[in-house]
Structure 1
Amino acid sequence: MYKSESKFRLAALASLCLAASLLSVNSFADKFEHLAMTPPMGWNSWNHFGCNVDEKMIKATADMMVKSGMKDAGYEYVNIDDCWHGERDANGRIQPDPKHFPSGMKALADYVHKKGLKLGIYSDAGWTTCAGKPGSRGYEFIDAKTYAEWGIDYVKYDWCATDGLKAEGAYMTMSKAVKEAGRPMILSICEWGDNKPWNWAAPLGQLWRTTGDIYACFDCEYDHGTWSSWGVLQILDMQDGLRKFAGPGHWNDPDMMEVGNGMTLAEDRAHFSMWAMLAAPLIAGNDLRNMSKETTALLTNKAVIAVDQDALGIQGFKYEAEDGVEVWFKPLVNDEWAMAVLNRNNHDTKFEFRWRHKAVKDELTKRSIDFNADEYSWQDLWDKDNSGSTKDFLKIKMERHSVFMVRLTPKAKDAK
C-alpha cells in the first residue's frame, strides 16, 4: 500500500513538474501573435545578390516594389540577407558595414517605411553568419533591441556556426529577445528543417524553413560537397506530410522564390503556382530593378496570389499523380477550391480530367467535393479568357514543366 501510494505521489509530482515546465516554456516563447496571419510576402536579397548588398540597391529595390505594382499586389517586406554587418562597438552593439550602408539602418528603415513597405534584416544563431559575419550568439537580446530601435520589421535567423547549440533552445532565446525588444517583428526560423521545426517552432516564430536552400533550377540538385541546394521539384516533394503544421501565424517555408532568376517562363509559373498552393511565404529573390515584363506580370498575378493569401490558411495537398502529372487541391473560403495540374515531365503532354468520375476529400479539414453531385465553374488563373464547368471533361495540352491552375466556384453560388 505504501509503495503504491509512494508511486502515485511520485507520478503526480512528475506531472506537476512537467506542467510547470510547459507553462514556463510557453511563457518564455511568447511571440507576437498578430503577425503573418497570411503568408508573408516580400523580397530578399540573397538568391540574386548574395553578399553584394548596399543601401543604394535596397532603396532602388523598394522603389521598384512600388513602381512595378508588387506593393499593390501585396508584397511588403524588403529583406536584407547576409553580409550587411560591420563590427560590434565597445558596448557589443552590431553596426552596419559603413562602406555599404553609410547612412545607417535607421535611415534605411525610414526610407522603406515612407514607401509604405517594411524592412527586414538577417542574423544567425551561431558565432558567425553563413558568410562569416558577426552572429548573434551571446548577443541575442542586444541585437533584437538594436533592430527594434532601427525600425526593423522582419528578422531572418539562420543556423550556421552553431556547434553545441540545440535548435529549439537557440530559437526560443531569440524569440524571447524579439518579444522583449517591444517592436512587432516577424521571426523567420531558418535552420533548414534539420531539427524538424514544424514540431516546436509555432510558439516561437511566424515561419520556419522546411528544407535546405533552393536553387534556380526546376528539377535538379546542386551538390556542394557537405550539403546540397535543391530545385523546385525537389523542394516541393520535401513538403509531404507537413501541411497539418501550417496555418495563420505559423507557416511552413519552402524557401524564397527563384522566379526571374533564369528558369523558363513556364517553370517560373509552375514554381509560383505551387508555392501558392502550399500557402508558402511569397518572398521574391530576383533583381526587381531589371526584371522583364513577363516576370513582373507573373509576380503580380493577383488571382494566384489570392490562393496563397486565402484567409483560411490551409496548405494544399496532392490529390493524384500519374505519368509525371500531379493534381493538387487547396480549400479556400466560401466553399471554393484551387486546383493545380503540374507537368513534371521533360516533355509536353496531354492531360484529361473527368470531373464527374472524381471525388475529392481533404482528410485534414474534412472538406470534400463530389463532382458527380455538385457542379463547379472554373476560371484559369493564368489565362483570363479560359474558363469552363466541371460538367464537361477537361482536356488540355501542357508544356514541359508547366502548370494549369484554376479556381473552382460552386455553380449554385456562382449563379446568385
Structure 2
Amino acid sequence: MKLKFIGILFLIFSLCTAGYTQKFEELAQTPPMGWNSWNKFGCNVSEKLICEMADAMVNNGMLEAGYNYLVIDDCWQVRRDSVGNIVVDPERFPNGMKTVVDYVHKKGLKFGIYSCAGSATCQGRPGSRGYQFQDARTYAKWGVDYLKYDWCNEEGQNAKAAYKTMSDALKECGRPIVFSICEWGDSKPWEWGKGIGHLWRTTADIRDCYQCTFDWGGLGVLDIIDKQAALQQYAGPGHWNDPDMLEVGNGGMTYDEYKTHFTMWAMLAAPLMAGNDLRNMDAQTKEILTNADVIAVNQDKLGQQATKFMDMGEYEIWAKPLSNGEVAVCFMNRTNQIWKLDYDWKKQTMYFATEVSVHKKVYNVFDLWEHKNIGKTSERLVKEIPAHGVLVIRLSVVK
C-alpha cells in the first residue's frame, strides 16, 4: 500500500513537471520586449526606481507598443540568510521584492530579475551557484516572469551544464519563467542553448557608441551587428540570438545611429530590451522605441532572423522574410557620407525568401520610418541614406 502511494505521488510529480516543462517551451514565441535597469542605472536600483519605471512604461506608451518585461539587473541582493535564501537589499527595497513584483504586475507588466551562474555576480553580490533550485523556488514565490542569468565568477564551470542546471530548476519551480542566458557568446550558446534557454547573448556587453573598441571586451553597435551575420539559422520562436540590450536614448550616438541600432535589432529578431530612463524620454527617443512598423518586423510570427543579402563593403543590404509572403529589406550605410541609393529590383534575385519574386510580382515599397509607400518594385528605388543610417522597407504584393 505504501509503495502504491509513493508511486502515485511520483506520477503526480512527473505530470506536474512535464506540464511546467511544456509551459517553459511555449514561452518567448516572439523576441521578448521590455526594459532593463543596467545600461542606464548600473547598481543604482531601488524599489522607488522600479515602481517609477513601471509607471512610466504604462504612461508613455511603451507597454502599448509591446514592452511588457521590467527587469532589475545586478545589485538588488546583498547576502544569504542562515538557510541559504537570497536576501534583498533592505535599504533599497524596504518592502521586499514581492511588493515590487506585485506593483509591476498590477500595472499590466511582467517582472524580471537577475542572477549569475557563478558564486558571485559581476558586481560581487551572491550568485546562484549551489542554490539554483532554491533560488528558482524563491523567484516563483515572488512571481518572477523572467530571469537574466550572467556568467561572472564561474570558476571553471562548463557553461552548458551550468545553464542547464538553472534551466532544470526553472522548469520545476512551479511558474513559467523566461530564461535569458548571458554567457557573452564565449562557448557558442547558439549551438546548445535551444531547450535550455529562450535567448542567449552572442557577444560581449554593448556600449553606447556606433563603432568603438574596449580592451576589456565591450563592443559598439556596428561590431555587434557584424557578429550576427552567420547566426540566422539558430533563431526562431522560443529561441533567440541576443546581441544585448538597447542603448537608444542614452546619449552616446546620433539620431540616425540610434535608428540604425533599433532597426537592425528588429531585423535580427533580437530581444528589444530598452535601457534608458523611461521617465524623461525626448521625442526622438520615444519615436524610435515605439515605432510600430519596425516593431512589427521584430515581432513577426515567422520568427526568422535577417540575412545579409548583399555585402558591398561599406554598404549592406539585409533581408528578413516575414509572414504572409512579405519581406523586410534594410539598406545600411556604414560610411560617414550620404549613400545616394539607386537600386534596380529587376537586377536582383531574392534567394533569401522563396515566396518573394520581384520578377514575377510587383510589390509595394513601404518605408518603415516615413510610414508611407515610396514606390513599387517595378520602379528603381532612389533614396538618400544618411551617414551611419538606414533605409528599411517592407515589401508586400500589389493587390
* TM-score, length of structure 1 as denominator length: 0.89
**Is this contact kept in 2: 1:215–1:258, CA < 8 A?**
yes
Label 1:30 to 1:158 Cα distance change in 2 as closer, same or farther (>3 A). Answer: farther
Give the one of 287, 292, 306 matched to 1:302.
292
Alignment of 1:328-367 (within 5 A): 328-362=318-352, 367=354
Q: Which whole-Å deviations, capped at 9, do the CAs of 1:9-46 have from their partners, x for residues lacking one?
A: xxxxxxxxxxxxxxxxx999877111100000000011
Secondary structure at the aligned position of 2:366 is classed as strand
Contact map agreement 1:377 1:408 (CA 8 A) in 2: yes
Deviations, residues 22-77 of structure 1 (Å, cap 9, x unaligned):
xxxx9998771111000000000111111111111111111111111110111100
Q: AA paired with 1:360?
A: M
Structure 1 residue aligned with 2:240 = 251
Q: Which runs of 5+ in 1 are unaligned?
A: 1-25
Q: CA shift at 1:378, angstroms?
A: 1.1
Contact 1:359 1:370 in 2 (8 A): yes
Runs of 4+ in 1 over 3 A off after TM superposition: 26-31
Distance in 2 separating the partners of 1:30 and 1:391 = 47
Q: Percent identity?
A: 55
On the 8 A contact 2:136/2:169 being kept in 1, the answer is: yes
| Contact in 1 for aligned 2:20/2:175 (Cα 8 Å) | no
Q: Does 1:389 align with 2:389?
A: no
Paired residue type of 1:41: M
3-state SS of paired residue (2:25)? coil
Deviation string, structure 1 residues 151-197 (Cα, Å, up to 9, x no partner): 11100000000012100110010001111111100010010010111
1:95-144 deviation digits (Å, cap 9, x = unpaired): 11001111111000000000000110000000000000000000101001
Distance in 1 between residues matched to 2:321 and 2:34, nearest whole Å? 24
Deviations, residues 185-210 of structure 1 (Å, cap 9, x unaligned): 00100100101111111111110111
Is 1:138 aligned to 2:130, yes or no?
A: yes
Aligned counterparts of 2:336 and 2:19: Cα–Cα separation in 1: 51
Contact 1:29 1:172 in 2 (8 A): no
CA-CA distance at 1:222 after TM superposition? 2.1
Distance 1:410 1:173, change over 3 A: same
Shift of 1:388: 1.2
Q: Which residue of 1 aligns with 2:108?
A: 116
* CA offset digits 1:249-275 (Å, max 9, x no partner): 000001001111111111111100000
1:64 to 23, 38, 56: 56
| Alpha-carbon distance in 1 for matches of 2:158, 2:214 | 27
Unaligned runs of 5+ in 2: 1-17
Post-superposition Cα deviations, 1:221-261, rounded to whole Å, max 9, x if no partner, equal 122xxx31001110001112111011000000010011111
Instruction: State whether residues 159 and 190 of structure 1, in contact with CA within 8 Å, keep that contact through their aligned partners in structure 2.
Output: yes
Does the 8 Å contact 1:331/1:367 carry over to 2? Answer: no
Query: Residue deviations 1:358-384, cap 9 Å, x none?
Result: 11112xxx6253323221001111002
Distance 1:400 1:251, change over 3 A: same
CA shift, 1:347, in A, is 1.9
1:214 corresponds, among 194, 200, 206, to: 206
Q: What CA RMSD, in Å, does the superposition of the two structures yield over aligned residues? A: 1.6
Q: Which amino acid aligns with 2:356?
A: I
The partner residue of 2:356 within 358, 361, 369 is: 369
Sort the Cα spacing of 1:28 and 1:302 in 2 relative to 1 into closer, same or farther, 3 A.
closer
Give the aligned residue type for 1:271.
H
Q: SS where residue 297 of structure 1 aligns? A: helix
- The aligned amino acid for 1:306 is A
Residue 294 (structure 1) shift: 1.1
> Is contact 1:31–1:175 with CA below 8 Å preserved after alignment?
no
Cα 1:220–1:265 change in 2 (3 A) is same
Distance 1:289 1:28 in 2: 36
Q: CA deviation at 1:319?
A: 0.8
- The AA in structure 2 aligned to 1:383 is E
- Give aligned pairs, total: 381
Specify the code of the residue in structure 1 equivalent to 2:375.
G
Contact 2:326-2:356 at 8 Å conserved across structures = no
**Matched residue of 2:29: which SS?**
coil
Q: Secondary structure at the match of 2:260?
A: helix
* Structure 2 Cα separation of the partners of residues 368 and 32 of structure 1: 32
Structure 2 CA distance for aligned equivalents of residues 175 and 336 of structure 1:
35
Q: In the TM superposition, what are the counterparts of 1:268-279 in structure 2 within 5 Å?
A: 268-279=258-269
> Match for 1:127 among 100, 104, 119?
119
Conserved? CA contact 2:365–2:393, under 8 Å: yes
Partner of 2:180: 188
| Aligned position for 1:12 | none
1:148 paired residue number: 140
Provide TM-score, normalisation by structure 2. 0.93
